[in-house]
Amino acid sequence: MVNSAFSLTEVWRRLVASGEHHVMRHQRRDCPSQAETWRLRWISKDEGSREGPAYRIVKWVFVELAPEIGLETVPTYEKTEMTSTDVDVALDTLWSRSHDIPCKPITRVSFHAMVLLAAIGGFRPGTLMNLTYNCYD
């Protein structure tokens, strides 16, 4: 059961992204003169402002739907950052308990690198997953 407006909007965000990729992109390609018509848009490229039909639905979820059906609109948890001790424990466990964590060596090394990058930079996981070798030049 969904009890948070945040969960609902995350599902909506993924649906919009998928629709943009699988449906709207093809429409824009087939009708370039009407490309802006075939855009759901969530965040504009200009200063990251939120706009468009997809974002209007998010506002509706929080302002009208959530109170009507009893969804939480305030996070019910507190985000806490990993401490350096947490990072040490995670990485030590990754290697010292490798028999309990079956994976290829390259996967273990990659995970180790991701944990270090996240710890140093405070990046969101999705940001790290999109890094390529060219990002380091």
Rounded to 5 degrees, what angle do the CA atoms 31, 19, 124 make?
A: 125
Q: What is the pLDDT of residue 135?
A: 65
What's the pLDDT score for residue 93?
96
| Residues 6 or more apart in contact with residue 3 via CB below 8 angstroms | 70, 71, 72
pLDDT of 137 reads 53
pLDDT of residue 54: 85
Q: Is the pTM of this model over 0.75?
A: no
- 10-residue stretch averages of pLDDT, the chain, 137 residues long: 88 87 88 84 63 85 94 85 92 95 93 89 73 66
Rounded-to-integer distance, Cα 53 and Cα 40, Å: 6
What pLDDT, on the 0 to 100 scale, is given for residue 72? 93
